[in-house]
Amino acid sequence: MTTTHAVQLGQAPFSIPPALAQGGLRLVTFLPFQNLSPRIGVVLDDGRVADIAQEAEILKMILSFDPHSMLSLIASGEMGMVQIKLIVDSFKKNRNQVNPINEVKLLSPIPRPHSNIYCIGWNYLEHFEEGLNARADKGVKEYPQNPVVFTKAVNTMNGPFDAIPYDGTNSTALDWEVELAIVIGTKGKNISEANAMSHVFGYTAYNDTTCRDVQQKRHGGQWFKGKSLDGHGPMGPWIVPAESFNPDNVRLICRVNGVEKQNGTTEQMYFKIPRIIAELSRGLTLEAGDIIATGTPPGVGYSRTPAEFLKPGDVMESEVEGLGCLRNLIVAE
Q: Please check whether residue 2 lies inside any domain of the structure.
A: no
Residue-wise DSSP of 62-93:
--SS-TT-HHHHHHTHHHHHHHHHHHHHHHHT
Helix H or strand E encompassing 71: helix 70-75
One domain for residues 96 and 160: no
Of 296, 307, 11, 332, the C-alpha closest to 164 is: 332
Rounded to an integer, the average pLDDT of 158-166 is 97
Model pTM score: 0.92
Q: Is the pLDDT of residue 69 over 90?
A: yes
> What's the pLDDT at 215?
87
In-domain check, residue 42: yes
Mean pLDDT of 239-245: 95
Question: Based on the structure, what is the number of domains in the chain?
Answer: 2
**Mean pLDDT, rounded, of the chain:** 89
Residues 210 and 288 in one domain: yes
Please report whether residue 41 resides in a domain. yes
CATH code of the domain in which 299 resides: 3.90.850.10
Residues 189 and 153 in one domain: yes
Measured over the CA atoms of residue 68, residue 14, residue 204 and residue 198, the dihedral's sign is positive
What is d(CA 121, CA 222) in angstroms, rounded to the nearest whole number? 12
Same domain, 193 and 263: yes
Residue 4 in domain: no
Which of residues 81, 106, 131 is at a domain's end?
106
Do 204 and 279 lie in a common domain?
A: yes
Query: Do 129 and 43 have their domain in common?
Result: no
The pLDDT, as a whole number, for residue 134 is 58
User: Is 281 a domain residue?
Assistant: yes
- Among 83, 106, 129, identify where a domain stops: 106
Instruction: pLDDT band for 45, please (50, 70, 90 cuts).
Output: confident
- Percent with pLDDT over 90 in the chain: 76
251 has pLDDT over 70:
yes
Q: Is the pLDDT of residue 131 over 90?
A: no
In a domain, 294, yes or no: yes
Q: Is residue 312 part of a domain?
A: yes
Q: How far apart are CA 293 and CA 180, in angstroms?
A: 6
User: For residues 333 and 259, which has the higher predicted lDDT (pLDDT)?
Assistant: 259
Do residues 69 and 134 share a domain? Answer: no
The whole-number pLDDT of residue 137 equals: 54
SS3 call for 303:
coil
pLDDT at 17: 56
**186-203: average pLDDT:** 98
Whether the per-residue pLDDT at 141 is higher than 70: the answer is no
Same domain, 283 and 327: yes
CATH of the domain at 64: 2.30.30.230
| pLDDT band for position 98 (cuts 50, 70, 90) | confident
From 68, 84, 106, the end of a domain falls on 106
224 found inside a domain: yes
Provide the pLDDT for residue 143: 74
Position 115 pLDDT exceeds 80: yes
Contacts of 58 (CB under 8 A, 6+ apart): none
Cα–Cα dist 182/184, whole Å: 6
| Whether residue 309 is found in the same domain as residue 164 | yes
Domain match, 96 and 130 both: no
Q: Is the pLDDT of residue 243 over 70?
A: yes
Name the 3-class secondary structure at 4. Answer: coil
Check whether residue 145 and residue 214 sit in a common domain: yes
**Residue 298 is part of which domain span?**
117-332
Q: Give residue 33's pLDDT.
A: 75
**Do residues 210 and 183 both lie within one domain?**
yes
Does the pLDDT value for residue 2 go beyond 70? Answer: no
